[in-house]
Amino acid sequence: MDLEHVHLKAGAMEAPLRSTQVRNSTAAEAYHRLENSGKIVIVPYVDKDVALAPGQ
């Protein structure tokens, strides 16, 4: 799974996400299996710094 082209939106700000802790890495994505649920938790990383407007 890849988080390329996925953005987190907070108010009017959008932050691009990535699947690995290090940019342009070939490392495996970070995720954890939830025991006895059949679900996983994905750990996304913000791809670049973004500025929030005052009051957000």
The tens place of each residue's pLDDT in the chain, 56 residues long, gives 667 788 888 878 888 888 877 676 666 666 788 999 989 888 888 888 888 777 66
Where are any strands of DSSP class E within 2-55?
7-10, 13-18, 31-34, 39-42, 45-46
Is 55 within a domain? no
Structural domain range at position 34: 7-46
Q: CA 38, CA 50: separation in Å to the nearest integer?
A: 34
pLDDT of res. 28? 64
pLDDT of res. 22? 67
pLDDT of res. 36? 92
Is 52 within a domain? no
Q: CA 41, CA 26: separation in Å to the nearest integer?
A: 20
pLDDT of res. 29? 65
The count of structural domains within the chain is 1
pTM > 0.75: yes or no:
no
Contacting residues for 7 by C-beta, under 8 A, at least 6 apart: 14, 15, 16, 17
pLDDT of res. 37? 93
Is 1 within a domain? no
